[in-house]
A and B are shown apart, each in its own frame.
Chain A
């Protein structure tokens, strides 16, 4: 501020320099250049990080196919995973990842939607006071702690209930269910709150019960938002590494049932990447798994966008 006022003073006392003054940037303009430069630099760093992440992981991930000449089809459909013997069938991990993801989303969705309905329609006050902190705490618990509880409680429980080792898809599902629950709940709450109030009022005025209103009007109107919430939950489940790795048993075989040890893309990565040598087939094959993870994450992202667009269209209609 001081500089600007002194700038004015200069202008007043030296009228001949006006032309020159106009051709030179003022202090404020220079400040703006400086600020613009800094903020462009920061955003540039982020873009650089994203770009190099995509580039490095992609180039590492396709090395299996370009350098080691593994057939992509065989990689994706083969069921025999022993990269140190040249066998790179990644299907067991792919199936494992999708199985735990879908199972967790399937179990978590009714719980999340029920909780969200409670928080928005049944008891908004208690919802805000009690359930909001509950959900926030569930988000805050670190994933290794979920893994540890899975290992200490869920796995022995499953062993007791159905026999076997207790490690397997079902234990992973249980752990992931609790982990994705807050994600889906929070976003469902947001989408339920976004439903226009008069939808609800119109329905109630017609004599519909609360459940009829919720199930046929509110949930219907919030469907795109709820689908987005489920996809975000699935993306979290798909990418979760340590908690799953601790309870699934890490056997790179096709999962025969829900209670036998299996493995996911993330669990194979966390156990294997430190034991392999850079540039060899076992290492490259693991990077290909990471590439699948990356592509799936991009896919979930795109799916969310498509649903958001569809939702907008249906509201406009």
Chain B
């Protein structure tokens, strides 16, 4: 009887714990969406911010977030693809490979603020590029590389060995086999990983404060020449992202409606991240069906 009562009690406690965890998430999402969404409007999404009066929108920040995301992905996908292929295909099981793997692990466990400070030291202090889009994108790349590499390696290794053997027995080189046969099969997993990491990159702020900077100069959206100083595409201009904007509005406290502003910006950020997650799942499933021809 005693043991049974204990079992019941434990089950009730665990149920309560689970209910609390679910409750926390529901509260978080509800709080952000309910307090934030009413302030989200078209002019908020496209307008430019004015941190002193507190009025204004997040247009430039939103653009910066996407621009940084695209640049980061353009840099980090090829590198991690190469590195993932190395680990899945060429790396032998020896001390050198183990060292490489631990280096990647170390990089992935480093706090993002340390990664950001390294970017600051390298680009802003040493190379004197200043707070800029390109510094931010490279810092985000450092932050993104280990996870993406591991994801790509796992997706590649999950492809059955027989596919590799089939390619090699046709006289293809290892490289051609990897690019022509293995990579397409592994694509669903890789794409899911890439989109999920895009969500992480989109919400990252600590690595950007001292690399991409905390100011968003008003840019001329009619000027798409990357060489012009006022162009939104200019990689050397400082670019405060949406996540950094939320942090800055809250810590500086200059805006009179900081809470409102950051609630709305948080809602936009959360929705973007949720969309990334959803998109990753849908796209992954779609590609999986296409590649495996299953229903």
Contact = CB atoms under 8 A, between A and B. Distances in A.
Given A50-B103, A122-B14, A266-B113, A43 B121 contact: no
A153 B31 contact: yes
A13 interface: no
Interface residues of A, number: 86
Contacts, number: 257
A87 to B, nearest CB: 22
Interface stretch (A15-23, A52-60, A186-194): A52-60
B22 interface: yes
A interface majority secondary structure: helix
Given A46-B103, A111-B17, A145-B203, A39 B82 contact: yes
B277 A42 contact: no
A66 interface: no
B79 A45 contact: yes
Contacts of A145: 32, 203, 246, 266, 269-270
B7 interface: yes
B274 A140 contact: yes
Interface string B280-291: 000000000000
A49 B273 contact: no
A117 B202 CA distance: 32
B82 A41 contact: yes
Given A46-B107, A293-B113, A149 B31 contact: yes
A28 B10 contact: no
Given A50-B103, A144-B203, A134 B21 contact: yes
A240 B111 CA distance: 7
B63 to A, nearest CB: 18
B175 interface: yes
B194 interface: no
Interface string A33-69: 0111011111101110111111011001000000000
Contacts of B172: 1, 4, 28
B12 to A, nearest CB: 11
Interface in A224-242: 235, 238-242
B118 A53 contact: yes
Given A138-B25, A241-B113, A35 B106 contact: no
Interface string A160-200: 00000000000000000010010001000000000000000
Contacts of A80: none
B interface majority secondary structure: helix
Contact of A293 (B81, B103, B114): B114
Interface string B104-126: 11110111111101101110010
Interface residues of B, number: 90
A242 B90 CA distance: 39
A141 to B, nearest CB: 7
Interface stretch (B44-52, B204-212, B216-224, B225-233): B204-212
Interface stretch (A70-78, A251-259, A270-278, A309-317): A270-278
Nearest to A130: B22
A60 B121 contact: yes
A11 interface: no
A161 B93 CA distance: 57
Interface string B236-274: 000000011011001100000001001100100110011
B98 to A, nearest CB: 11
Given A1-B171, A115-B21, A137-B29, A209 B7 contact: yes
B163 interface: no
B113 A270 contact: yes
8 contacts: A29-B173, A140-B277, A145-B246, A215-B10, A240-B111, A293-B114, A301-B105, A301-B106
7 closest cross-chain pairs (CB), A and B? A239-B111, A142-B203, A35-B175, A42-B82, A114-B17, A39-B86, A209-B7
